[in-house]
Amino acid sequence: MLDALQNSGANAGRGNHSLAVGTGRVLVRTRSMLAELFGVANSQDIAFTHNTTMGLNMAIKGTLQPGDHVISTMTEHNSVRRPLEYLRNTIGVEVDYLQVDQKGQVDLLELERTFRPNTRMVICNHSSNLLGSILPIGDIGDIAKTHGALFLVDAAQSAGALDIDVAKMNIDLLAFPGHKGLLGPQGTGGLYISPGLDLEPLMLGGTGSQSENSMQPNVRPDRYEAGTQNAVGIAGLLAGLKVIRTIGTEVIHHKEWLLTQRLMEGLAGIKGLRLLGPALGEARTGIVSFVIEGEDSAAIAHYLDRGCHIAVRAGMHCTPLAHKSADTLESGAVRASVGVSSTELEIERMLAAMKEKYGQAGSRQK
């Protein structure tokens, strides 16, 4: 990123001087690595975005029409739910959110039963940002395809940590962040758009191509990338992707899973503490959320931060329906996030901190 700032700083596709060409090369290489990671045949089908939310909005608002029906789930983030509710209120899109069980799983038979003749799209997260649950997106993609519906996957919590293959999983649209599992900086992300899909662009404007044309060009990715791209951020994303390619998503996921297991095991020993999502030993991503009976989740997070320099998130996590399913709508929850750079030592420090304050039932230090 420093190199991009200090030695380039030019705008890709806006000139043919060598600095602009150099920036363009960074974008091309990043797009190619993303395509390789997600099983995308043509990297031009990936558009850069500023985050997952932008990709989700492009996919949802660029596709749905009045009268369309959408099937989604109770574990969706507000970045899915709010655009859907907006379209429900403004143009009459119909939405069903599938119930999930305590482990965050949907019933695939229920999914089958929810289709209607006007079901245009199925939208789900790959992994819940509250529960850490992993949805069977391969199976869901098959079902969506059988019913002729588009399949949009929110990979905010899984890109870089779980295998994703858009071709094998029948994914038509994949929204992902650069700044989480892909190890890039904030302000990066992307949307895969399947080749046959003519998505209405959310933003119109300069692309550096077909400047004489008053309409947005039809060529990809320009059609979906109006305005200057975050080339410095994308240079950082490229560096992150190289790390992921070297380690491999399977190794990353396994490491994260082992650390979550140790964390869950230790937390389970605290009286009154309830872990959310999949049980010990079951598949999950690096998220471990919990509540402690009679304790305020914000106060727990505050204690860990100020007292122990451990950053966890408390509250609603932008997913109120998932909290409703987990019965934590009133209390909120504390969420610890394990990533590829987390260590066993950090897990033990967190457990020691938790045990020190909340470990002894009946004698908790306030």
Ligand X SMILES: Cc1ncc(COP(=O)(O)O)c(C=O)c1O
Residues near ligand X, by CB under 6 A: 51-53, 77, 79, 125, 129, 154, 156-157, 177, 189
Beta-carbon count within 10 A of 269 CB: 11
Contact call for residues 20 and 14 (beta carbons, < 8 A): yes
Give the bridge partners for 72, in sequence order.
97
Residue 148 CB, shortest distance to ligand X, in Å, is 26
Residue 126 CB, shortest distance to ligand X, in Å, is 8
| Total residue length of the chain | 366
Angle at 300 between CA 298 and CA 306, to 5 degrees: 95
Contact call for residues 148 and 116 (beta carbons, < 8 A): no
Residue 181 CB, shortest distance to ligand X, in Å, is 11
Contacting residues for 59 by C-beta, under 8 A, at least 6 apart: 152, 173, 175, 191, 193, 199
Q: Closer CB to ligand X, residue 233 or residue 359?
A: 233
Residue 156 CB, shortest distance to ligand X, in Å, is 3
Q: How far from each other are the two terminal CA atoms of the chain, in whole angstroms?
A: 45
Q: Closer CB to ligand X, residue 125 or residue 328?
A: 125
Give the integer Cα–Cα distance in Å for 13 and 140.
38
Residue 160 CB, shortest distance to ligand X, in Å, is 13
Q: Closer CB to ligand X, residue 177 or residue 332?
A: 177
Strand pairing category for 46-49 and 189-193:
antiparallel
Residue 267 CB, shortest distance to ligand X, in Å, is 21
Residue 359 CB, shortest distance to ligand X, in Å, is 30
DSSP string across 240-272? HHHHHHHH-HHHHHHHHHHHHHHHHHHHHTSTT
Q: Closer CB to ligand X, residue 20 or residue 153?
A: 153
Beta-carbon count within 10 A of 352 CB: 12
Residue 206, CB half-sphere, CA atoms under 13 Å: how many?
9
217 prior amide bond cis, ω within 30: no
Beta-carbon count within 10 A of 345 CB: 8
Q: Closer CB to ligand X, residue 99 or residue 216?
A: 99
Residue 119 CB, shortest distance to ligand X, in Å, is 22
